[in-house]
Amino acid sequence: MNAAMSSNEPAAAMQDALRAAGTQAQHIGALWNGTLVLCTLVFVAIVVATIVAVWRAPRADAATRPDTTSLEGPEHRIWRRVGWATGAAVAGLLVLLAGDVFTSRALARLPLRDAVNIELVGHQWWWEARYRDGDPSHEFTTANELTIPVGRPVIVTLRANDVIHSLWVPSLSGKKDLIPGRTATLRLRADRAGTYRGQCAEFCGLEHALMALLVHAVPPADYEAWAARQRQPASEPADPVARHGRDVFLGTSCVMCHTVSGTPAQARTGPDLTHLASRQTIAAGMFPNNRGYLAGWIGDPQALKPGVNMPANTLPPDDLQALLAYLETLR
């Protein structure tokens, strides 16, 4: 389940605005480069001017007679220089404005043909993702980890369930806020395969710091295969231990919040677990999805992510192991 074990993907998940893997981030990166150059030049000019002015002026003390000639008449030479410098400043600002306008246009011109449509709902402190389709039977729900096809545009519709969140996957695109009562849209496209990490970028309460998101960009054929699997309901577990685990799942508080399609568990308060085992992480991108962490999470989520809305679940060890076995079948 570790990303390093897959031969197609790089080792670490990238969360870096300076390393663009998608067209939107690339456009913004180009603007950044140009702006950085211009602003550095201006900064150096002003600092040098200040240093030169201070260096060259003769020294004085409190007794030095002040020079009040400027109070008697205008200082044309100085005013002309200030004028030229101001003109240069205005020119620089116009360049920046032009850069911004051009970049905005480029971002708005992302071709949207054949787009994948994802509806993202922000919760305290996890991401609900519903893949939309023209054919309703092709729709499915997952959480916290998105898989998208390389080279195809993705239209992400953003809604919030409770407070304001913000979706930010810097290697792919700029951020957009998820605001309760409003619907926003973010359009992006991954141009390189890889796993990209995002984080909630609007302070949303206690565990804002631990609300991450993984985006796996895969070749289109792999995406179709993944999506096809996601559309399937959970299959009947073959192993008797796993079957017992399913009974544990259906018999405890898990069903109060979680959905596993194909079973009576249809609650939507917490993340959809139908394909939990296909995800690399748990707790919104924070911990590896393996038995050890899962056990700790189920037993006492507060220890890993204090304040999270999931209660502790004390299970007898056999039941816990069975439950974990069952969860591993949810691929």
Residues 190, 113: Cα–Cα separation, whole Å: 15
Using CA atoms of 276, 279, 281, 285 in order, give the dihedral in degrees to the nearest 10. -100
Dmax over CA atoms of the chain, in Å, equals 100
Place of tokens 């007679």: 65
Q: Does residue 1 touch other proteins according to CB under 8 A? A: no
Q: What is the DSSP letter of 123?
A: E
Residues 7, 5: Cα–Cα separation, whole Å: 6
Residues 247, 185: Cα–Cα separation, whole Å: 40
* x-marked contacts with other proteins along 172-201 as a string, rule CB under 8 A: -xxxxx-xxxxxxx-----------x-xxx
Question: Of 223 and 297, which has the nearer Cβ to other proteins?
Answer: 297
Residues in 203-232 at the binding interface with other proteins, rule: CB under 8 A: 203-210
Q: Does residue 155 touch other proteins according to CB under 8 A? A: no
Q: Does residue 4 touch other proteins according to CB under 8 A? A: no
Q: 284 with 296: CB under 8 angstroms? A: no
* x-marked contacts with other proteins along 36-75 as a string, rule CB under 8 A: x--x--xx--xx-xx-xxx-xxxxxxxxxxxxx-xx---x
Question: Of 208 and 331, which has the nearer Cβ to other proteins?
Answer: 208
Residues 260, 237: Cα–Cα separation, whole Å: 13
Residues 191, 172: Cα–Cα separation, whole Å: 9
Q: What radius of gyration, in Å, describes the C-alpha atoms of the chain?
A: 28
Size of the site for other proteins (CB under 8 A): 92
Q: Does residue 89 touch other proteins according to CB under 8 A? A: yes
Q: Does residue 17 touch other proteins according to CB under 8 A? A: yes
Local structure of 152: helix, strand or coil = coil
Stretch that binds other proteins, among 12-20, 127-135, 238-246, 262-270 (CB under 8 A): 12-20
Residues in 102-131 at the binding interface with other proteins, rule: CB under 8 A: 103-104, 107-108, 124
Stretch that binds other proteins, among 11-19, 145-153, 226-234, 266-274 (CB under 8 A): 11-19
Shortest spacing between CB 321 and other proteins, in angstroms: 28
Packing angle of the helix pair 317-328, 240-251 (nearest 10 deg)? 110
Choose, by CB under 8 A, the member of 3, 21, 23, 28 that binds other proteins.
28
Shortest spacing between CB 39 and other proteins, in angstroms: 4
Shortest spacing between CB 327 and other proteins, in angstroms: 23
Residues in 251-290 at the binding interface with other proteins, rule: CB under 8 A: 286
Q: 184 with 176: CB under 8 angstroms? A: yes
Shortest spacing between CB 9 and other proteins, in angstroms: 15
Reported as type and span, the H/E element at residue 287 is strand 287-288
Shortest spacing between CB 128 and other proteins, in angstroms: 17
328 alpha carbon, distance to own chain's centre: 26
Choose, by CB under 8 A, the member of 1, 12, 112, 256 that binds other proteins.
12
